[in-house]
Amino acid sequence: MAPAMTSRIDVSRIRRIAINTGGGDAPGLNAVIRAATLAALARGWEVLGIRHGYRGLLDGADPKDLIPLDADAVRGITHRGGSILGTANKGNPFEFPVPQPDGTVLATDRSDEVLRNFRAHGLDALVCIGGDGSLRIAHRFVEKGMPIVGVPKTIDNDLSGTVITFGFDTAVSTATEAIDRLHSTAESHERVMVVELMGRYAGWIALNAGIAGGADVILLPEIPYDLEKVADKVRRREAAGRHFSIVVVAEGAKPVGGGLTTQGPKEVGREVLLGGVGQLVATEIARRTGKETRSLVLGHLQRGGSPTSFDRLLGLRFGAAAIRALEAGEVNVMVALTPPTVKTVPIGVALERLKVVTTSCDTVLTARSLGICLGD
Ligand code: F6P
């Protein structure tokens, strides 16, 4: 993806903007919607919420998929999980899945419809709240002439250009609490408990929650694991009188020389679903150590529920900053946290590469200093 330059719009032309949320939901979405809406209304702009990504802008859309957002519509939502606009992680308008009579699904480009309807509704700009996939779609719409400001959302924290995405802190807190709870049952039964966490191709959630929750082993996508090293850690704990172990596995973790564990083939218009590596690791630990082992997948619990105060505040700051960017005439940018401030970066820069865990970062070094096995 070319690192497209930022561009400018004539701010005096802005009368009406839209907001949409795409991809997997993340705690803090409603905080962004609230701040962006109130900041836009304060400038005299009208705000429309597009439900479920771009669904409200497709030909034949249900009129209920475009909602006028006023102060009442966004009242009392900062602390609520999910998105009042709904979201969508399938239905990319550039690769829209259309089922065929023979049972196959054909990817169809419906982006022109979206652009035409965007203009027909008198929309001057879009605030697009999304992760890697949604901002990639936004970037393609920018190239077609749609003025967009992006807001970085994902529990995976894998977007470049921003130190952190909103939703990540809540996911880490939820995962840490789950690991805390596993300790007592693991210890009572003298078992190995393996917990698989989300994060796709980045190990941020597993690394942060694993360290905070006192895991004994953390397996990350960025460090291919050797099961013998993992089994050895469990055996050494056993020999030291620690008859239980907690193993955190990122869903994107891979064995040395091996590949990702997926839940089936990639469907048209959506990302491949990862999952299942935790159970594979658990089975092997049991076989190699003879320890009773159980595994669980924390799954969508990491995305649900009320955002932490950190994510609420970050969401509110991002929403307000997106409108300030538009007011300054900036489009084709993403708001980004670079402490202590929120600034903008070109959307293309945020998409140049996934932000994954660097093996030399201080958090990885901290894990090693604590004696946590990283599978290598
Ligand atoms: O990108 C966010 C995320 O929660 C990933 O961590 C996970 O792999 C994926 O979405 C799950 O997607 P779905 O909601 O389609 O199951």
Judge if 22 and 106 occupy the same domain.
Answer: yes
Judge if 187 and 149 occupy the same domain.
Answer: no
Q: For all residues of the chain together, what is the average pLDDT?
A: 95
Judge if 136 and 188 occupy the same domain.
Answer: no
Q: What does DSSP say about strands 96-99 and 105-108: parallel, antiparallel, or unpaired?
A: antiparallel
- Which domain-ending residue is among 288, 304, 320? 304
Judge if 326 and 291 occupy the same domain.
Answer: no
Residue 272 maps to a domain: yes
Q: Is residue 155 in contact with ligand 1, taking CB distance under 6 Å?
A: yes
Give whole-number Cα distances, 169 to 5, 154, 173, 203, 364, in Å: 30, 10, 6, 14, 18
Q: Residue 216 corresponds to which amino acid?
A: D
List pLDDT tens digits, range 194-224. Answer: 999 999 999 999 999 999 999 999 999 999 9
- Which domain-ending residue is among 304, 332, 362? 304
Report the SS3 class of residue 103. coil
Of 25, 82, 16, nearest to 43 by C-alpha is: 16
pLDDT of residue 253: 98
Residue 364 maps to a domain: no
Judge if 197 and 272 occupy the same domain.
Answer: yes
**Where do runs of H (alpha helix) occur along the chain?**
29-42, 111-120, 132-143, 168-189, 204-212, 227-239, 277-289, 309-327, 347-351, 362-369
pLDDT of 2 > 80? The answer is no
List pLDDT tens digits, range 311-347. Answer: 999 999 999 999 999 999 999 999 999 999 999 999 9
**Considering 25, 124, 132, 156, which one is annotated as catalytic?**
156
pLDDT of residue 5: 61
The rounded Å distance from CA 331 to ligand 1 centre is: 28
Mutate to test the pocket of ligand 1, among 155, 251, 260 (most ligand atoms within 8 A of CB): 155
- Global pTM? 0.95
Residue 146 maps to a domain: yes
The rounded Å distance from CA 198 to ligand 1 centre is: 7
Q: Is residue 198 in contact with ligand 1, taking CB distance under 6 Å?
A: yes
CATH number at residue 55: 3.40.50.450
Q: Is residue 303 in contact with ligand 1, taking CB distance under 6 Å?
A: yes
What is the spatial distance between Cα 218 and Cα 175, in angstroms, rounded to a whole number?
13
Judge if 159 and 221 occupy the same domain.
Answer: no
Residue 358 maps to a domain: no
3-class SS string, 297-317: ECHHHHCCCCCCHHHHHHHHH
The rounded Å distance from CA 265 to ligand 1 centre is: 15
Q: Is residue 89 in contact with ligand 1, taking CB distance under 6 Å?
A: yes
The rounded Å distance from CA 151 to ligand 1 centre is: 18
Judge if 252 and 195 occupy the same domain.
Answer: yes
Query: What pLDDT band is residue 3 in, cutting at 50, 70 and 90?
Result: very low
Judge if 253 and 333 occupy the same domain.
Answer: no
CATH number at residue 246: 3.40.50.460
Q: Is residue 311 in contact with ligand 1, taking CB distance under 6 Å?
A: no
DSSP secondary-structure letter at 177?
H
Of the chain, the percentage scoring pLDDT greater than 90 comes to: 92
pLDDT of 4 > 60? The answer is no
List pLDDT tens digits, range 134-143. Answer: 999 999 999 9
Q: Is 156 a catalytic residue?
A: yes
Judge if 55 and 138 occupy the same domain.
Answer: yes
Q: 141 is in which domain, residue-wise?
A: 7-166+307-350
Is residue 120 within 8 A of residue 339, CB to CB? The reply is no
Ligand 1 atom with the shortest distance to the CA of 273: 8
Q: Is residue 199 in contact with ligand 1, taking CB distance under 6 Å?
A: yes
Helices 204-212 and 362-369: angle between axes, nearest 10 degrees: 40
Q: Is residue 156 in contact with ligand 1, taking CB distance under 6 Å?
A: yes
- Which domain-ending residue is among 244, 278, 304? 304
Our count of domains for the chain comes to 2
The rounded Å distance from CA 154 to ligand 1 centre is: 9
Judge if 153 and 20 occupy the same domain.
Answer: yes
Judge if 101 and 156 occupy the same domain.
Answer: yes
Mutate to test the pocket of ligand 1, among 207, 303, 354 (most ligand atoms within 8 A of CB): 303
Residue 366 maps to a domain: no
Residue 334 maps to a domain: yes
Residue 376 maps to a domain: no
| DSSP helix, strand, coil percent of the chain (3-state; round to 5) | 40, 20, 40
Judge if 193 and 280 occupy the same domain.
Answer: yes
Residue 372 maps to a domain: no
List pLDDT tens digits, range 292-315. Answer: 999 999 999 999 999 999 999 999
